[in-house]
Structure 1
């Protein structure tokens, strides 16, 4: 998003342009009427609606009803990724979900914050990337600017404030690496 599209003083006005706010209002109407209460198996229908609003959606994506999405045009869904009901994709900035990544129920991916060092508390955004085969478990919180490495597992209710390495199991507040993730044959 161009910097001139963001208000520098959140006390005197909105952080986003009128165009952005109108697009989000229209999305909100479509979300409530056609997305939020659509039947659980209607993944293609929800993918269609997300594409209609500018999201990049791969093949076989499963976004469940009740997932809260702030701005679909700021999200890329990789092939066969899944987002569980009640997850929040607060996409003021870009969110990229890799192939077969999983965002579990109630997880919160937040790309925006405010610069508390400036008197006007201007909005700042930073992208979140969840790489392929990674899993963000239930009710975890992911801060702006974080990359979850390929194959990484983030434990339930973790608070991820920095990027996590690939093929590891991580958890806690703040989230930290616990061990290597090893895939076994069954």
Structure 2
């Protein structure tokens, strides 16, 4: 984890430059992103790129996705983020090829260190592997890697790395069984 500041009581967690960029982004989000028609994925991808996101081909980000800082976002080809998802990316968040983030998921790449008097903000990257699926309303903690092909069950709380090609669920989220395809 990366400590961003020493004392959240006496100082801002982010630079004035960062805060100005977020004000501009939130204005663009409200006026041009949030109320764009559902099928306008290319338009929303363009806006994200304009604000520094790395965006692959055929990415589907729906209009009611809330993204805190596009410049801390990497979206690989053909990934998707459903309406109502919260991408709280104070630290970097990476979504792998064909990964799915369902409706209402909360990806949280920042927290505060409660063991220090100033409760400093700390960030840690989140990585969602290729072909992984994070189901509806799950919460993913800072610093977590969700392995390739893994499935995180609805409303799970993910506080530790999730192994590849496993179906996992619960609070805390734990592996339940191997993910198999039956075509």
TM-score by length of 2: 0.98
Q: Which runs of 5+ in 2 are unaligned?
A: none
Number of equivalenced pairs? 182
Tell me, in whole angstroms, the C-alpha distance in 2 between the residues paired with 1:184 and 1:20: 47
CA distance in 2, matches of 1:135, 1:142: 12
1:35-50 aligned within 5 A: 35-50=33-48
Q: Which residue of 2 aligns with 1:7?
A: 5
Root mean square deviation of aligned Cα: 0.9
Q: Give the distance between the partners of 1:22 and 1:122, measured in 2 at CA.
A: 21
Which residue matches 1:81? 79
Q: How far does the alpha carbon of each residue in 1:121-169 deviate from its partner, in whole angstroms, 9 at most, with x for none?
A: 1100000000000000000000000000000000000000000000000
Aligned residue for 1:157? 155
CA offset at residue 184 of structure 1?
Answer: 1.8
Residue matched to 2:181: 183
Distance 1:160 1:63 in 2: 22
SS at structure 2 position matched to 1:177: strand
Task: Specify the alignment match of 1:111 in structure 2.
Answer: 109
- Say which structure, 1 or 2, has more relative contact order (CA 8 Å, 6+ apart): 2
Runs of 4+ in 1 over 6 A off after TM superposition: none
- After TM superposition, list the pairs within 5 Å mapping 1:20-169 onto structure 2: 20-169=18-167
Name the TM-score, length of structure 1 as normaliser. 0.96
SS in 2 for 1:182: coil
The CA distance in 2 between the partners of 1:99 and 1:155, in whole Å, is: 19
Distance 2:12 2:61 in 1: 29
Give the drift of 1:7. Answer: 2.8
